[in-house]
Structure 1
């Protein structure tokens, strides 16, 4: 691993440390049952340092095709409704935009997030079955 990418992997491992701590605080039993993490093949995710971290805590990684689409629920579930919500709006300041975003997120039903996460499993399976080809629906 080159020294150039080490800081990115180190930062990603720090993020994983914070995630692990948040899971421990908010959902303590989840760590004992095992964590399945979905991330892509970006260099910080595939770096030796990150792989060692994942092995140390025995976190399972969903495989991701080398040149496959981004399977993040935000891409296929969140951004469309958010774009429709913000369509036609104009904001005087960045604070106005942030306020509108917070209001929108605060008013989303918990099922909105549940549907997005659950649909990831189906999309991931379709993508895997297609050997990494893009999944439209």
Structure 2
């Protein structure tokens, strides 16, 4: 593994460690049943260090075709509404932007996230049916 890649994979594995701990605290049964994650093909996700981490903890990764970024709920469900919400706004400081983002996320209904995650299933199936080709809607 290249030295350039290692810090990013290491940082990502640290993030996975924090996620695992949060799941252990908040939903302990989930770790026993198994965790299924979706990764794209970004270098930190596909690095050997990350793959070893995932194998050690038995987390399953959904396959992600290389040219289907639209399978990430953030791409197809989150960024559009967020962009519309922030449209036309200006911020004096980064803290002002962060405050607005926190406020927006705090006021989203739990169904917003449920719809995004649930629609992943049909989009993923369409991608499989298209043999990895781009999935519109």
Of 111-120 and 93-102, more deviation after overlay is shown by 93-102
Q: CA deviation at 1:88?
A: 2.3
Deviations 1:87-126 (A, max 9, x none): 2223333333222222211111110011111111111111
Contact 2:123 2:135 in 1 (8 A): yes
Question: Does the residue aligned with 2:69 lie in a helix, a strand or coil?
Answer: coil
- Cα distance in structure 2, aligned partners of 1:74 and 1:91: 23
Contact 1:40 1:70 in 2 (8 A): no
Question: Does the residue aligned with 2:125 lie in a helix, a strand or coil?
Answer: helix
- CA-based RMSD of the aligned residues comes to 1.4
Runs of 4+ in 1 over 4 A off after TM superposition: none
Which structure 2 residue ranges, 5 or more long, are not aligned?
Answer: none
- Cα distance in structure 2, aligned partners of 1:38 and 1:23: 16
Which structure 1 residue ranges, 5 or more long, are not aligned?
Answer: none
- Cα distance in structure 2, aligned partners of 1:47 and 1:67: 18
Q: Residues 2 and 27 (structure 1 numbering): CA distance in 2 closer, same or farther, change over 3 Å? A: same
* TM-score (norm: length of structure 1): 0.91
Q: Residues 94 and 44 (structure 1 numbering): CA distance in 2 closer, same or farther, change over 3 Å? A: closer
Q: Residues 97 and 10 (structure 1 numbering): CA distance in 2 closer, same or farther, change over 3 Å? A: closer
Q: How many residues align?
A: 137
Q: CA deviation at 1:45?
A: 1.2
Deviations 1:21-65 (A, max 9, x none): 111011110000100010011121111111111111111110011
Q: CA deviation at 1:70?
A: 4.1
* TM-score (norm: length of structure 2): 0.91
